[in-house]
Structure 1
Amino acid sequence: MQFKKGSGVTAKWAAALALVCGAVGLGMPAHAKTPEYTIAIITHAAPGDTFWDIVRKGAEAAAKNDHVRLIYMASPDASKQAQLVVNAVEQHVSGIALTLAHPDAMRAAVKQAQAAHIPVVGFNAGTGQWKAMGLLGYAGQDEMVAGEAVGERLNDEGAKNVLCVNQEQGAVQLEARCDGIKKTFKGKFAVLYVNENNMADVQSRMVAKLQQDPAIDYVVTLGAPYAVTAVRAIGMAGSKAVVGTFDMSPTAIRMIAKGTKLKWAIDQQPYVEGYEAVDMLWLNLTNGDTVGGGRPVLTGPSFVTQENAAMVAKYAERGTR
């Protein structure tokens, strides 16, 4: 509001306006400061696996937005991962988000967290186990459904002899991927187990298998780093096979975009998994919310092919896809 200079009512109106503004200010609640919570993320990540870098970025983004302190811990050894959960309980964290690649090994640690009244959610691994273990929610891909989608795609592409390369025997989410493919794929199917901690051995075992069975026309890997290795192994073995993979990396996306032997990747959106894991805990801690209505919050699957790789690549290059 403007007043003419020298107006006799200016001072009166200004004083009245100040009183009104003051009254409005007193009537409005002050912006509540978000409580300081500490959330632990505990995964089965292997050292050097770039997939988990993306998960961690999503978790860190959610922690920043929700104003919580984040502790990130990981071990590919199931017993050590369980011990990390126990360590988090002993640190009296506010909430725990974890992966259930090996549910039986994690069961006792999860019960200890629950006994301490610490909310626990699952993500990434354990789609079929999280609910029975009493977790509050789950964010991730239904790996059986994803595997079934891959099997159907292989049928559509005319594949006859498929090799599924599993880098961690016994991990429930990886076993489900191969099982899903086997369920819907109509041709010959085999699983090759390799050691995720020795990429040179992974490559040599792939080469040997491809030489042993020259009829293999499709190799499906369960992680992007293994897809790149599979392409090299195919060249070394003189095979005509092509590759599809679960999960992505900037290198894999570039290879798909260029039309190499790597034809597609299944994206489960690990950034979203990490983000949702933290956010679900924050909602529960601050408002008593649970998410999903007793069902998992699905983050995939979707196929990334040469047709849409360029769009996805810009996000992959910044480390969020």
Structure 2
Amino acid sequence: MTLSRLVAAIGAGVLLVGMTACSSTGGKPDTSGGGMGAGTADTPRMKIAMITHEVPGDSFWDLVRKGAETAAKKDNIELLYSADPEAPNQANHVQSAVDSGVDGIAVTLAKPDAMRPAVRNATGKNIPVVAFNAGQDAWLDMGVTQYFGQDGFIAGQEAGKRLANDGAQKVICVIHEQGHVDLEARCAGVRDAFPAVETLNVNGKDMPSVESTITAKLRQDPAVDTVLALGAPYALTAVQSVGNAGSNAQVATFDTNAALVDAIRNGDIQWAVDQQPFLQGYLAVDSLWLYLNNGNVIGGNQPTFTGPAFIDATNIEDVAEYAKAGTR
């Protein structure tokens, strides 16, 4: 199924008219006209806040936001997007959304304990909350109605099996945000299926530091034959580190972006684990529209998985056109 058909199937029954605007990290609407052309529902206008743990410059969140914008246009929603890599600031954004009287909230739960009070305050005021991308083990306890994403541990296990089949001998799993529950789960899953893994923590807010930390590790330990990144920008940086260290290590990763497509094409990166961030953003917003307008809940108190799947040289052309358009 093509992406356009998927969007049409999820949002069946809406009329194709007009567009609405989305917001920047400050939570105020802009006029960027992002997202894909889909149409606008004839249901009453509503306001949805989306709060993520985005690190500035991480292209993963461009895909999430594009999906959210697409659903917002179709559903006649004013989308207020805000983000901060620090959990206390994310919680403050949630509280601000509650105070402003939004109709619903979509939120990531990378550090659930810090987010719990604000999320519970929202649900206590009968504001429906959905979670996506991170926090799969915590969302139900917070009164969140739905969750969209991949199981980080299972995705890690699949990556570990792939590494074993590739003949890897020693792997470093690069965590770019220490304490992020889903990133930690990915590396734990890798280790469960492929024990010869060492975790390497880097400062994902400082890409030169990421490059130098990986380079230093490769120089210090020539036995490392694979660098496994947990995000596309960090994988592309790891390719630089391999060259700078004079290493023969291969690079694989979780998540994709347009630049990663070319890196897989030319063999700089072996494969990527795809969790479909566009779909996560789309479903998070569209599910709130369905809940608010028809009482629908997706998943039956179980997470709705958007991954994992592998993208490699055998299927890269299947997603290349979508990546170029900024949706994969």
Q: Does the alignment reach a TM-score above 0.5?
A: yes
Q: Distance in 2 between matches of 1:169 and 1:183?
A: 19
Match of 2:184 in 1: 175
Match of 2:323 in 1: 316
Runs (4 or more) in structure 1 with deviation over 2 Å come to none
Match of 1:222 in 2: 230
**CA shift at 1:117, angstroms?**
0.7
CA contact (8 A) 2:42 2:76 kept: no
SS in 2 for 1:63: helix
**CA shift at 1:33, angstroms?**
3.6
Which of 193, 210, 225 aligns to 2:218? It is 210
Match of 1:265 in 2: 272
**CA shift at 1:127, angstroms?**
1.0
SS in 2 for 1:89: helix
CA contact (8 A) 2:150 2:308 kept: yes
Match of 2:309 in 1: 302
Q: Distance in 2 between matches of 1:33 and 1:255?
A: 43
Match of 1:16 in 2: none
Residue 164 of structure 2 corresponds to residue 155 of structure 1: yes
**Structure 2 residues not aligned, in runs of 5+:** 1-40
Q: Distance in 1 between matches of 2:168 and 2:185?
A: 20
Which of 103, 106, 120 aligns to 2:112? It is 103
SS in 1 for 2:51: strand
**CA shift at 1:259, angstroms?**
2.0
SS in 1 for 2:71: helix
SS in 2 for 1:138: strand
Q: Distance in 1 between matches of 2:221 and 2:133?
A: 33
Which of 66, 69, 82 aligns to 1:57? It is 66
SS in 2 for 1:232: helix
SS in 2 for 1:73: strand
Post-superposition Cα deviations, 1:115-140, rounded to whole Å, max 9, x if no partner, equal: 11100000000111111211100010
- TM-score with structure 2 length normalisation? 0.87
Q: Distance in 2 between matches of 1:60 and 1:214?
A: 45
Match of 1:26 in 2: none
Residue identity in the other structure for 1:271: F
Match of 1:198 in 2: 206
Q: Distance in 2 between matches of 1:137 and 1:106?
A: 16
SS in 2 for 1:125: coil
Residue 260 of structure 2 corresponds to residue 255 of structure 1: no
Which of 272, 281, 290 aligns to 1:274? It is 281
Q: Distance in 2 between matches of 1:281 and 1:159?
A: 43
CA RMSD of aligned residues (A): 0.9
Match of 2:124 in 1: 115
Which of 285, 290, 293 aligns to 1:283? It is 290
- TM-score with structure 1 length normalisation? 0.88
Residue 79 of structure 2 corresponds to residue 79 of structure 1: no
Q: Distance in 2 between matches of 1:137 and 1:93?
A: 18
State percent identity of aligned pairs: 53
**CA shift at 1:284, angstroms?**
0.6
Post-superposition Cα deviations, 1:262-281, rounded to whole Å, max 9, x if no partner, equal: 10011100000000000111
Post-superposition Cα deviations, 1:255-298, rounded to whole Å, max 9, x if no partner, equal: 101222x1001110000000000011111100111110111111
SS in 2 for 1:132: helix
**Max radius of gyration: which structure?**
1
CA contact (8 A) 2:149 2:280 kept: yes
Residue identity in the other structure for 1:277: A
Residue 166 of structure 2 corresponds to residue 166 of structure 1: no
**CA shift at 1:36, angstroms?**
1.3
SS in 2 for 1:293: coil
CA contact (8 A) 2:218 2:242 kept: yes
Query: What is the 5 A alignment of 1:179-190?
Result: 179-186=188-195, 188-190=196-198
Q: Distance in 2 between matches of 1:97 and 1:174?
A: 20
Post-superposition Cα deviations, 1:173-226, rounded to whole Å, max 9, x if no partner, equal: 10001000000004x210110001111111111111001110001100000001
Match of 1:242 in 2: 250
Q: Distance in 2 between matches of 1:60 and 1:276?
A: 11
Match of 2:33 in 1: none
